[in-house]
Amino acid sequence: MTPTSFPSKEEIARLTAGMLIEIGAIDFNAAEPFTHASGKQAPTYVDCRKLISFPRIRATLMDFLSVTIMREAGFETFDNIAGGETAGIPFSALVAERLALPMTYVRKKPKGYGRNARIEGVMTEGQRVLLVEDLTTDGGSKLSFVDAIRDTGATCNATAVIFYYGIFDGVEKTLGDHGVQLISLCTWWDVLAEAKVRGAYDTATLDTVEAYLRDPAGWKPA
């Protein structure tokens, strides 16, 4: 069923942040920072893959994402929902079901045998494709997926994610310059605000996280 009526964007952001905290998808650790794929350290970590194991939260967030897509991009804007390998695949399937659209997925690179395809499923020339992922940090990985979609002759002018870091400069401009609109449910700032309300972490940890969010490039462990 296609969702049509839901809370405001601000309330969706607050509720999404709370759900991520509730299931342990958010981790703050000031004493032992996490090393991200970029090699940089941070006192924050988010794992949206955990959502697939919590049916009630999973269903609610997919309703939120579907209605946000329609609000921000339009109700009849897309012909195909594509997930990015691998984290985006379950979420793209769930969104496609809600929007009653075909679902495909995009490999990070050609599989190296058989058809050597990057696109799995049926994607045709001229289709308007929405790329769905779990999260975005600096938007870089999205561009490779978008280009693979466009190589089929389809168009891809938007990507939708559950979580957007929202702390790095120029992300939306980079995507915008590539002709891609970013749609998201919540950011680190929403998570920090909800963590403070819930008393989810001690004050020193929250202060460290806030310092990192304000200057991620310059932050160093104490």
Query: pLDDT tens digits for 34-50?
Result: 998 778 899 999 999 99
* pLDDT higher than 90, residue 1: no
Instruction: Give Cα separations from 96 to 60, 66, 100, 204 (angstroms).
Output: 15, 9, 6, 42
Q: Which has the closest alpha carbon to 92: 33, 132, 142, 136?
A: 132
Q: Which has the closest alpha carbon to 90: 54, 134, 139?
A: 134
Instruction: For domain 9-214, give the CATH number.
Output: 3.40.50.2020
143 pLDDT band, cuts 50/70/90, is very high
The pLDDT, as a whole number, for residue 36 is 83
Contacts of 86 (CB under 8 A, 6+ apart): none
Percent of the chain with pLDDT over 70: 95
* Pairing mode, strands 128-136 and 155-164: parallel
Length reported for the chain: 222
> Taking the domains of the chain in order of start, what are their residue ranges?
9-214
Residue 170 burial by CB count (10 A; 0-12/13-18/19+): exposed, middle or buried? exposed
What are the DSSP calls for 205-218, one per residue? HHHHHHHHHH-TTT
- Alpha carbon 27 to its chain centroid, in Å, reads 17
The pLDDT, as a whole number, for residue 83 is 98
Stretch 169-196: mean pLDDT: 96
The pLDDT, as a whole number, for residue 212 is 97
Give me 37's structure tokens. Answer: 């794929």
d(CA 175, CA 133): 14
Q: What's the pTM? A: 0.94
Contact 184, 160 (CB under 8 A): yes
The pLDDT, as a whole number, for residue 116 is 63
* Pairing mode, strands 44-46 and 119-120: unpaired
Give me 43's structure tokens. Answer: 């006192």
